[in-house]
Each structure stands twice: as structure tokens, then as C-alpha cells.
Chain A
Amino acid sequence: MKIKGIKDLVIFLGPPLAILAIFVFYPILGTIIISFLSGSSFTFENYRAVLFETIPLKALIVASPGPYPPWGALVHNAVWIVIAVPAVVLLGMVLAYTLRKIFGSSIVLGIIFLGMVLPGVVSGLIIRFMFDGYIGIFPRIFSLFNIPLLSSTWTIYPETALLALILGSIWLWLGFSVTLYSAGLDSIPSSLIEAALIDGASEREIFTKIIVPQLKPVTIVVTLMTVMWILKIFDIVYVVTGGGPGGASTVLALIMYMYFASALEHNKAAAVAVILAALTLIPAYWYIRMVLSGEKYEE
């Protein structure tokens, strides 16, 4: 019995463990080791160097010299999270709830979901067009209100480049949010809403006091997944602005690429990758904990 148990373990765990070891553990451990290697010694030098780098296209915290722009990629990622996460959550919830009651909503949902299924490079090009001074919808709208800065191509000005990317990313990620909220809404028992209607609750009260609390698990998932996605974002930034102008729209993953592909400083690139992974692990930890607690609850 004992031998059979060990045999089963080897048969069932061996192949997946071997694959994981080669394709997951080895690259992860390799990256971590490289990040600590400076010459042939183990130090924190790479981490110190990348955290305190001030060159605009490589700065993580503060870019210097000069006033354009003052912040590095970590701050840009934080700003991105602060703006995009509430927008994705709120818009996703409101749209999912509203569109359920409207005829032909599947077409609107399809357009929203398009952002999710498009390749990053194509999405990036669409964002470029959306904010182009000649043909972009956003500059066109603001030109009606005679706001010069917002009537030009957003992606080429340091004041608006990051904002353009953030707004574009909200569109891209909204499909995910709306899909999850739509599924969440389907799972709310209709008896709850019917009871509220019999008790004389208004539409607003039903939404704020029944729908929103019932969707709390979905909101947590959308929030955590959006935060993780924003931390890892690369493709649209690379295509739309390349982190510029003047480093005004750099993000962590782009800085990692800069070290890796432009500077050919692989140890520093690994250090940025480890920082990025560590930051992503925070929401990932909460997400996994939530999923596991849900499984336990189901048992």
C-alpha cells in the first residue's frame, strides 16, 4: 500500500512537476538569481541601481533632471491603478446592470468586449487613432469646447500621454468587467429583487442596497484582476508612446524591457522583473486566498 502510494505520487506528480520545473521554476529562480548577481558576486546592487535610477526612460521613482516629468514608472503605475480600477469597476457594474434591460444591448456589449479580444498591438494602434489630433474622437470632442491642449494629439504631449493610455486601457479592460458583472447579476436570486419591489423599494435603492452588496465577490475579483493587469501592462504603452515623451508614460514592464532590450543590462532587467512580480503577488495573494476560501465554503 505504502509502495503503491509512492508509485502513484511519482506517476501522477512526476511529469507535471518536471514540466513545471523546466518551464516555470527554472526561469523564475534563474531570474531571481540573475537579479542578485553583479559580476560574480551576490549583492543588492542591481536593486539599488534600478530603484534610484533617474534617467527619464528608466526611472522607477523619480526622474531627474528637469521638470518633465517628475515621476518614474512606479508612480505612473500607481496613478494608473487609482484612475483605472474605480472606473473599470463602476462602469462595468453600471453597464452590466443597465444593458440587461435595454433591447439590442448585445451589440453594445460586443463593442465593449472587443477591447478584450484584440491583440495588444492592434489595441494600441486603435488608442493612437482615438487620441489623434486629426481623426481621434477625444480631441474632436474637446475641440468643440475650445480646449487647445486636449484638442491636439494626446499621445505626443507629456501632460496628456499617460491619461490617453489610462483611458484607452479602461476601454480595453471594460469587457472583462462587464462580463463578470453580467454573470454575477445572473446569480442574484430574483426573489430578492421581487421582495424589495413588493416592499416599495425604488430602482436606486434596489441597485445600491441589493445589487451592489450581492456583487461584492465579483467586485473583489474585478478589482484584483485589474490591479494585476495594470501592474503588468506593456504592449499598449510600447505601441502608443514608447514611454514618452520625456518618460511621461513609462510603466514597470516597459522599464524592464528597456534594461533588457536597449541597454542589454540583463541583471537590472531581472531586478525590475522581480520587483514587478513581487508587486503583482500582493493582489494575487488576496485573489488566491479568496478563491480558496470560496472552495472551502462550497465544501
Chain B
Amino acid sequence: MAATTKGRKYVYIAAAVIILAIIGVFLYQYLTPPAAPTPPQPAAPTPPQKVKLVVIGPWAGDEAKYFQAVIDEYVKKHPNVEIEYRTMRAEDVAATMPVQFAAGTAPGDVIFGWAWFIAKMGKEGHLVDLTNVINEKEYVPGIVDAVKADGKIWGAPFTMWLKPGFWYRKSFFEKYGLTEPKSYSEFVQLLEKIKGIPGIKNPIATGDGVGWPMSDVTEHFIIAYGGPQMQLDLISGKVRFTDPRVRSVFSDYLVPLLQKGYFSEPIEWTTVIPKWWAGEYALYFMGTWITGMVDDPNDLDFFPLPESKGVVGGADYAFIPKYSKNIDAAIDFIKYLATEGQGVHASVPSGKIPTWTKVPVSQLWKPMQSVYTKITQRGMAILPDLDDSIGGDWQKLFWDQLKLLWVNPGALDSVLKTLEASQPKP
């Protein structure tokens, strides 16, 4: 009996020691200040020895195939480099990488992620400084700003998508004698006319996913009827969502269309494409990547809202975690991605245009050449994406509140108030 009591005592002592040791180790690790960021890494030539790079990006399916073309082109010129591509959504990169970085590891050498996330991680000292790799002057103005923090460039811009307006099938418009609108009232007349066409469920298909397709439509209305500056001021927080000017964009232009049922209920954005193509919907607001997702891109055309003076455009950005084991090779590859690699990506049906201004328009995939020409002819400014620029959990809130607005347009004031309450302040 005494032996059992003593035995228990030892167990209790052992347990107490273990628990105290864990607390000690944990507190030491947590409260110890992080190591200072590594100094900027200069661009280096490709090392001669055989190296393997792991590249993580958001593309899957056909999109991955188009990105693979970029990789293949690089590997052809650098036979000593082996590249493995892995798919991971930007959401997952943002969710999983901070923990891995904190542990001093990284699952890839070159990783694509959201711009706000890259700037944040760079600021926290987890990324390789690319200031000496990226020549800001060679890019679309403002495109590098999104990945800058503390005066340094933490990410490399890759190709750019645009969200130029409402896509439609030329053959559908020809069949029913429809024409692109020249004013908002003509746009409403067009929607009314489409509504009367047999087989049409709603004039405009609403894409859904985690919520971003609705934010794209909303931003297009903000730019068209609030002006490009309103978009920029909403990003910086100078203009609030409860501002009467912002409210009027919603209440005078977007909400009436929702109330009249011109937009469909939100439907998963890829599954709605065949339905739209089959004529259940006439218009679909989507980014330029749609050109690579339809059966016949030559039957495709788009129009922005007639009063719009800008379109949202955004680049994919890549970064190098400082925990990469092949930093030199990774720098060489990321430099290629940010320059010549863009030309390769834009020449295949990726639906993207280069952010590196040295790629000639003639190198673009043909359908994208006409999209690009249409936008430049209208003199439209390329503006940053509102929710991508702000990022974080506000982005999710924005998507979620717009989902609510779509099915319940009467909740407009509540939606705007909610968005304003969490909107970053300047």
C-alpha cells in the first residue's frame, strides 16, 4: 500500500515536472523576440549544380497547364534546374504558411500568394527581399506597390488579369438583335429585353464561390458610378462605405437591378459557365481568364458599364520564403517569372496580360489582344482590386455581406454599416 502511494507520488512529481518543462519551453519560445530579417539577397546567376525547386501556385486543371508552359520554357534553358509545381489556393497559403514560417520552414521555394499577405510576411521578416531583383520602372504603374512594405519589394509581379465587364456570346446577341449599351438606361433596357427571351432564367448570371465574383461586379459599379477615385479612396479608407456617395452607387444603380431579378441567385462560378454558354443566362461578369474557359473564345465579347472609366486589374504575385534551401536558384526563377516568363504565359490561353511592359502586344494570345485593345481604346484606367488590396478578414466579410445583399437587397444600409465598421481607417 505504502509502495503504491509512493509510486503515485513519483507519477505526480513526473507529471508536474513535464508540465512545468512544457510551460517553460513554450514561454521561452513564444516570448523570445524573432530573429532579425535577413539582409537583401542580390540576384545571382543560376548555379551550375543540379537543383530542385518547388513552386506553389493557385492554378489547377487547364490553368496549371498554361503555367506549366512557363516552367517548361525555363527548364529548357536551365537544364540543371528541376521544377515541381504544386497547387495551393491563396486562401490556404495565407492560412497555413504563417505557422510554418514561425517554425522556420517553408513547403516551397517560390510561392504565389495574395499581395497583402506577401507584404505582411515580408514585414515580419519571413521573405527574401526582392528590391534588387525587380525594376519597378519596367512594370504597369502601381502594380508593385501592393507588395511593398518598409520601402522594400517582397514579391514579384507575374501576369495580370482584368475584370473588364459583362461577357456575352456574339452569336447570342446577333440571334436576338441585341447591342452593347451606351448608357445606364440602355443597359437596363437591354436587361429587360433579355428577360423576355424564351429560355432565359435571368439576364445576368451571378457567380459564387467563396464570394469574390459578387465583389467584382460591385467594384465595377463603384468605378462606373462613383469614379475610379472612389475605388482608390475606399481601399485607403478615406471614403467610408456609409458615405452618401457610396450609398447612392448601390441604391441608384446596383440594388434596383437586384430587386428586379436581373441577376441570378449566386451559383458556383465554374458550374454556371456552361449554363450561361447554353443560353440560360445572357451576360456573365467575370475576369479575363474566362477567355480560356469557354468552348469558342472567338464567339466571346464583353462590354463594361458604359460610364466606366476604369477596370479592376490585378497581378498574381510570387515570393521566396527565406527558409528556402535554394534561394539563389529561386531568385533566378522568380526573376524569369517577373519578366520573360510573363510573355510565355500571356501567349497561351491563360487569359492574362503581362505586367512587365517590355512584352509586345503582338506576343499576346489573339483573343486577349482584342480585349486589351478594347480597354486601351476606351482609355480606361487599370485599378487595384478593392477586396484583394485590403485583404485579411475584411475581405471575407465583404464577400459575405454581398452574398446577403444579393438575396436581400433591402438589407443595404445594414450591409454598408457592417462594412464600414470593419473598414480599415486611413
Contacts and interface: CB of A to CB of B under 8 A. Distances in A.
Interface of A: 1-2, 5-6, 9, 13, 17, 21, 25-26, 29-30, 33-34, 37, 40, 54-58, 65-68, 133, 152-153, 156-158, 242-248, 258-264, 266
B400 A57 contact: yes
A270 B67 CA distance: 38
Given A245-B404, A245-B407, A263-B392, A29 B19 contact: yes
Contacts of B94: 261-262, 264
Interface string B20-32: 0011011100110
B27 A67 contact: no
A247 B407 CA distance: 14
Nearest to B275: A134
Interface residues of B, number: 48
A37 B30 contact: yes
Contacts, number: 130
Interface stretch (B35-43, B292-300, B359-367, B416-424): B416-424
Contact of B392 (A68, A260, A262): A262
Contacts of B422: 55
B403 A245 contact: yes
7 contacts: A29-B26, A40-B31, A56-B418, A66-B414, A153-B265, A243-B400, A264-B94
A65 B23 contact: no
B403 A246 contact: yes
Contact of A56 (B96, B208, B211, B401): B401
Given A29-B26, A33-B30, A158-B404, A57 B397 contact: yes
A259 B393 CA distance: 8
A56 B397 contact: yes
Interface of B: 3, 6-7, 10-11, 14-15, 18-19, 22-23, 25-27, 30-31, 91, 94-96, 98, 120, 208, 210-211, 265-266, 392-393, 395-397, 399-401, 403-404, 406-408, 411, 413-415, 417-418, 421-422
B417 A158 contact: no
Contacts of A153: 265
Interface of A is mostly: loop
- Going nearest first, the 7 A-B pairs with the smallest beta carbon separation are A66-B414, A261-B95, A246-B404, A244-B400, A262-B393, A245-B403, A263-B393
Contacts of A263: 392-393
A30 B102 CA distance: 14
A1 B408 contact: no
Contact of B400 (A5, A40, A56, A259): A56
Contact of B7 (A5, A55, A244): A5
A153 to B, nearest CB: 6
B95 A21 contact: no
Nearest to B21: A21
Contact of B18 (A21, A58, A248): A21
A58 B30 contact: no
A244 B18 contact: no
A2 B3 contact: yes
Nearest to A153: B265
A65 B7 contact: no
A21 B17 CA distance: 11
B404 A244 contact: yes
Contacts of B15: 17
B265 A55 contact: no
B396 A262 contact: yes
Contacts of A17: 14-15, 18
Contact of A66 (B27, B393, B415): B415
Nearest to A152: B265
Contacts of A242: 210-211, 396, 400
Given A158-B404, A260-B95, A263-B392, A66 B417 contact: yes
Contacts of B417: 65-66
Contact of B6 (A2, A33, A34, A157): A2
A251 to B, nearest CB: 14
